[in-house]
């Protein structure tokens, strides 16, 4: 007797979520020499600093913000996969201080392995997040692909004065992180059947929490720089911020927020291949405490899918901003470090 086995989306791909991203060092090589900003004066943000989205200034002072993001499943529930992917794609607009206005779906599916109803649920999941953000999915493109892929191309808008790059932090700025770390750890545990229901709910809760607070932060002059923490991990995206501003970012390890079971699971060996690739790409520009354990380093490099915002702000406003961010629905938000004069690198302190 043949018994139909349930389809596990997470088993149909070699990776999942933002852990699928190319290693930072590989991406740098591919984009070398492709800076277009000098030829297009209205292109305010291009690929120069590895920022979250492209920004084009219109004649009336309004900016168009454009981004795209897609990946393979990190969960088996089709609706949840769609929600996570859409939330992650919208994050890039918020991280620039903008507001999304429209999305296009990007879909690649192994049509011989996945039933149409499951694909429909992926699309419905993504559409539900866009509806919550107040925008339509206005179209898109689909292909037959060996592994399932879903994401969005998103268009947003923002006033020029509200655009927040990842490269404009200032000496003395405090660093705020708005969401807990450990998404990649949870993803690895899920794929191996070791993530309990409560942890899964926490996992879905953080990865489907829209970073819409970024639009509010962009309107605050005390906020100088902003990015979202995704596939390169906290250290990788902090390093991009450090390079862009030619500053040293000092982060307090003890101040970092983590998902409730992330530390335990990391110690048990539930890590992603991306965390190792991340460290290999940028480890020479990061200083860790001498007693840092391997599992701790994996946490600091852990790829975050739909992670939080990393914000550099004036020190005298940091506490008030954290209070406002928590009040806006991000209870894990906290000050994690500061910006210092020095070579562009990240220093993790005990």
Same domain, yes or no: 145 and 194? no
Question: In the prediction, which pLDDT does 112 show?
Answer: 86
192/325 same-domain check: yes
Task: Using alpha carbons, list the distances in angstroms from residue 233 to 33, 53, 176.
Answer: 25, 18, 15
Q: Of the candidates 136, 162, 188, which is a domain's last residue?
A: 162
Answer yes or no: do 191 and 88 share one domain. no
Does residue 253 share a domain with residue 210?
Answer: yes
Instruction: Specify whether 313 is located in the same domain as 343.
Output: yes
Whether 279 and 341 have beta carbons less than 8 Å apart is answered as: no
**Counting beta carbons within 10 angstroms of the beta carbon of residue 278, is it exposed (0 to 12), middle (13 to 18) or buried (19 or more)?**
buried
Cα-based angle 80, 85, 56 (whole degrees, multiple of 5): 155
Among left, alpha and beta (phi > 0; psi -120 to 50; other), residue 172 is left
Q: Are 190 and 334 contained in the same domain?
A: yes
Residue 203 and residue 73 share a domain: no
Question: Is residue 169 situated within a structural domain?
Answer: no
pLDDT of residue 35: 57
Residue 226 lies in a domain: yes
On the CB side of 77, how many CA atoms lie within 13 Å of its CA? 12
Same domain, 189 and 127: no
CB 336 within 8 A of CB 176: yes
Any domain includes 152: yes
DSSP string for 250-289 = EEEGGG--B-TTHHHHHHTT---HHHHHHHHHHGGGEE--
Distances (CA, A) of 269 to 181, 264, 348: 16, 9, 22
In a domain, 4, yes or no: no
Q: Do residues 279 and 331 share a domain? A: yes
Of 108, 129, 162, which closes a domain? Answer: 162
Give the containing element (helix H, strand E) for 78. helix 78-95
Q: Is residue 167 part of a domain?
A: no
Would you call 319 helix, strand, or coil by DSSP?
helix
107 plus 241 within the same structural domain = no
3-state secondary structure labels for all residues of 163-196:
CCCCCCCCCCCEEEECCCECHHHHHHHHHCCCCC
Task: Say what the pTM is.
Answer: 0.91
Q: What is the domain count for the chain?
A: 2
Residue 280 lies in a domain: yes
What is the pLDDT tens value at each position of the chain, 350 positions in all? Answer: 334 457 778 776 766 554 555 555 554 555 555 555 557 889 999 888 888 899 999 988 899 999 999 988 999 999 999 999 999 999 999 999 999 999 999 999 998 889 999 999 999 999 999 999 999 999 999 999 989 999 999 999 999 999 999 999 999 999 999 999 999 999 999 999 999 999 999 999 999 999 999 999 999 999 999 999 999 999 999 999 999 999 999 999 999 999 999 999 999 999 999 999 999 999 999 999 999 999 999 999 999 999 999 999 999 999 999 999 999 999 999 999 999 999 999 999 98
CATH code: domain of residue 182: 3.90.650.10
**CATH (domain of 158):** 3.30.1330.10
Using alpha carbons, select from 80, 67, 262, 95 the residue that is nearest to residue 167: 95
Kindly state whether residues 188 and 90 are assigned to the same domain.
Answer: no
Q: Does 2 map to a domain?
A: no
Residues identified as active-site: 18
Residue carrying structure tokens 């409730």:
260
Q: Which domain holds residue 336?
A: 174-349
Pair 199, 126 in one domain = no
Domain boundary among 162, 189, 204: 162
> Residue 310 belongs to what H/E stretch?
strand 309-313
In a domain, 3, yes or no: no
């Amino acid at each position: 007797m043949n018994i139909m086995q349930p389809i596990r989306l997470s088993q149909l791909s070699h990776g999942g979520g933002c852990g699928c991203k190319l290693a930072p060092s590989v991406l740098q090589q591919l984009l070398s020499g492709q800076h277009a900003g000098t030829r297009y004066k209205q292109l305010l943000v291009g690929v120069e600093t590895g920022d979250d989205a492209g920004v084009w200034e219109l004649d009336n002072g309004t900016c168009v913000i454009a981004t795209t993001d897609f990946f393979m499943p990190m969960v088996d529930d089709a609706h949840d996969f769609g929600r996570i992917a859409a939330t992650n794609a919208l994050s890039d607009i918020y991280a620039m201080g903008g507001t999304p206005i429209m999305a296009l779906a990007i879909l690649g599916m192994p049509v011989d392995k996945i039933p149409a109803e499951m694909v429909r649920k992926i699309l419905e999941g993504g559409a539900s997040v866009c509806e919550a953000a107040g925008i339509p999915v206005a179209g898109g493109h689909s292909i037959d692909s060996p592994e399932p892929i879903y994401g969005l191309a998103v268009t947003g808008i923002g006033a020029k004065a509200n655009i927040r790059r990842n490269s404009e932090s200032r000496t003395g700025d405090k660093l705020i992180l708005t969401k807990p770390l450990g998404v990649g750890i949870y993803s690895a545990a899920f794929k191996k059947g070791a993530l309990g229901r409560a942890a899964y709910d926490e996992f879905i809760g953080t990865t489907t929490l829209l970073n819409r607070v970024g639009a509010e932060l962009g309107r605050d002059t005390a906020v100088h720089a902003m990015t979202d923490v995704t596939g390169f991990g906290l250290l990788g995206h902090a390093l991009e911020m450090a390079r862009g501003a030619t500053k040293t970012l000092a982060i307090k390890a003890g101040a970092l927020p983590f998902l409730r079971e992330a530390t335990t699971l990391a110690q048990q060996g539930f890590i992603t291949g991306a965390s190792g690739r991340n460290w290999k790409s940028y480890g020479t520009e990061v200083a860790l405490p001498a007693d840092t354990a391997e599992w701790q380093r994996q946490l600091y490099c852990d790829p975050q899918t739909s992670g939080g915002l990393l914000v550099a702000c004036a020190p005298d406003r940091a506490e008030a901003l954290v209070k406002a961010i928590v009040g806006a629905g991000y209870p894990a938000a906290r000050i994690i470090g500061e910006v210092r004069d020095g070579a562009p690198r990240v220093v993790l302190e005990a």
